[in-house]
Structure 1
Amino acid sequence: MLRISFIFLIIAALLTTNKVLAQDPQFSQYYSAPLYLNPALAGITQQGRAGINYRNQWPSIAANFETFSVYVDNNFDEKNSSVGLLFVNDKEGLVGLQSNEIALQYAYQVNVNYKWVFRPAFQVSYTSRNVNFNKLVFGDQLDSNGNTGNPSAEQFNTDWKVNYFDIGLGGVVYSARAWIGVSMHHIREPNQSFLGESSPLPQKLSIHGGYLIPLNTGYSKGETASGARRNISPTFNYRAQGEFNQLDLGMYFTWDPIIFGLWYRGIPIKSPEGGGSNNESLIFMFGVTQKKFTIGYSFDYTLSNLGIQSGGAHEVSLIYSFKWGDPRKPSRSVRELKCPLPMIF
């Protein structure tokens, strides 16, 4: 009975407490998940692109989180427009909470002048959430030796799911060296309760940016005679959602075909509830670019009280670039100002 009570206590907390469900999944390689970060980044490479992201957070404990996303986007020169399609699946390991989101994005490109470009964008999305009751173990499935594996005779309502539409907005401004973007998701603050109560999903704000510092190669700043990139890119990503906020601060080091990254996640000047430290993790990233493919791996070393015994977080990204249209026509990124964001080409 104690175990049953504990299980249902966890379910009740997950299904009815805004604080637990108020945080969207996150990717440490945020510029390798561009459409998830900001709809204005759809088509920003001025050609076609497809990508996959996978994250496993706290794999050493039962309450781990797995997030998978896949996306495709393309730019249409003649229309100054880009479209993107994004799918995200997120699963919580302990009681099988799962969400599936599909989003359609549109971005419009405005050349402010020969030095700056502005891209406003919006997205519409549909999300379905449910609970997997097969993850639960009840008292009649236990004996003195542990779990019998037999089905439970417990009667309960397994139809716990919620579906909703949502809206997001975004924008990015960039020059040849600098960029800054803002995105706002969950503008409708849809009701996410499984029990018919009021549990609005808080709006999520992200402010992100960076600066490209080209290195001297003896041929041209930031580039070798063969076109290989050589640069450092300090970046940041600040997120706020409900009572939660966080900051990623670090940099990419690009030495084609190799890319390294190092970030700190946390807000050390802010004390969390109950005291202690607000240092969350150090993030180490390694990537390789080969022709049209870029693959990256990162590891989050946990600094919080949860500790490294949680297993940290592992993340893998894969990006493929392609040209859709007249192959004889050079891409817009060759003819016009190119966005300096790393890990997206």
Structure 2
Amino acid sequence: MQRQVCFLFLALGGWLGAGLWSDVKAQDPHFSQFFASPLYLNPALTGTCDDGRFLFNYRTQWANLPGEFVTTTVSYDHPFPKKQSNLGAMAMLDRAGSAGVQSASFAATYAYNLILADNLALRFGGLVGYNNRSLNYLQLVFGDQLTPFGVSNNPTQEIGIENLNVHFLDIGFGTVLHSDKFWAGVSVRHLNQPTYSFGAANERLPMHIGIQGGYKFTLNSINLLGNGNGFPEPASIHPAFNFAMQGNFKRLD
């Protein structure tokens, strides 16, 4: 098998997109080009490249307004085919709004590849991560700071919020069934539903459930320059979908 190092740099002008919800709670950052962040999409996709793979993703939302939403992820994964095992690591930084809400996380991923037939395999993946969520209280504006002339520089008399730094462990799981023609997977993040809220509240992070899949359509009438071994390779298209649910929020890409 030809060895290759997959390197991908993506500058995504992403957006959270429209969803259906009645009770808005915390939701994970979402990349509209979900296939460009495989470890974040499903830990079972760890090590699906021929060799080491480094990925960088950047998403910004409402960039022309103060306090835009910015999400950055960096990941690296590597397959170990002799042991049917794959290891990966991912870091994410998410900044939301002008109040200084920031989430930072680091996760390790593992995937095992179970061969079912000559052209069929089932992958199982897991994720264990550490998360920190913080809030800059000084950037908040309260009612007693508003005047007819704008926002006053005087400090607020409101009672301050305690516990402005929240730390929690995150656990995820995923599985993918694939061949050289199709792939289908299910992933679950926040299996332990950790507490993520500031102050005395005890809000738990809802589980994030994803269903993904794709199919390879070969265009026999069109040939590319070659497959690296001197033989022509038919062109193909790879449509894919991602359906995500978290709390009452649902989205389909």
Place the TM-score, normalised by the shorter chain, in its bin. Answer: 0.7 to 0.9
Tell me what 1:107 maps to: 111
Cα offset for 1:135? 2.6
Deviations along 1:125-161, whole A, 9 cap, x unmatched? Answer: 111101123433467877776567x5x4346347512
The answer to whether structure 1 residue 98 and structure 2 residue 99 are counterparts is no
Which of 188, 195, 201 does residue 191 from structure 1 map onto? 195
Q: Distance in 1 between matches of 2:143 and 2:208?
A: 40
Cα offset for 1:51? 0.6
Residues 1-345 of structure 1 correspond to what in structure 2 (within 5 A)? 19-62=23-66, 64-137=68-141, 146=150, 152-154=154-156, 156-157=160-161, 159-217=163-221, 219=223, 223-225=224-226, 227=228, 230-248=235-253
Q: Distance in 2 between matches of 1:141 and 1:53?
A: 38
Tell me what 1:311 maps to: none
Counterpart amino acid of residue 153 in structure 1: P
Cα offset for 1:224? 3.3
SS of residue in 1 equivalent to 2:198:
coil
Unmatched 5+ residue regions in structure 1?
A: 1-17, 249-345
Counterpart amino acid of residue 237 in structure 2: I
Scaled by the length of structure 2, the TM-score of the pair is 0.80
Counterpart amino acid of residue 82 in structure 1: N
Q: Distance in 1 between matches of 2:166 and 2:234?
A: 47
RMSD: 2.4
Q: Distance in 2 between matches of 1:125 and 1:75?
A: 20
Answer whether contact 1:133 1:158 (CA < 8 A) is retained.
no
Scaled by the length of structure 1, the TM-score of the pair is 0.60
Q: Distance in 2 between matches of 1:70 and 1:89?
A: 9
SS of residue in 2 equivalent to 1:36:
helix
Answer whether contact 1:119 1:172 (CA < 8 A) is retained.
yes
Counterpart amino acid of residue 246 in structure 2: Q
SS of residue in 1 equivalent to 2:117:
coil
Tell me what 2:13 maps to: none
SS of residue in 2 equivalent to 1:163:
strand
Answer whether contact 1:106 1:121 (CA < 8 A) is retained.
yes
SS of residue in 2 equivalent to 1:78:
helix
Answer whether contact 1:49 1:72 (CA < 8 A) is retained.
yes
Identity percentage of aligned residues: 39
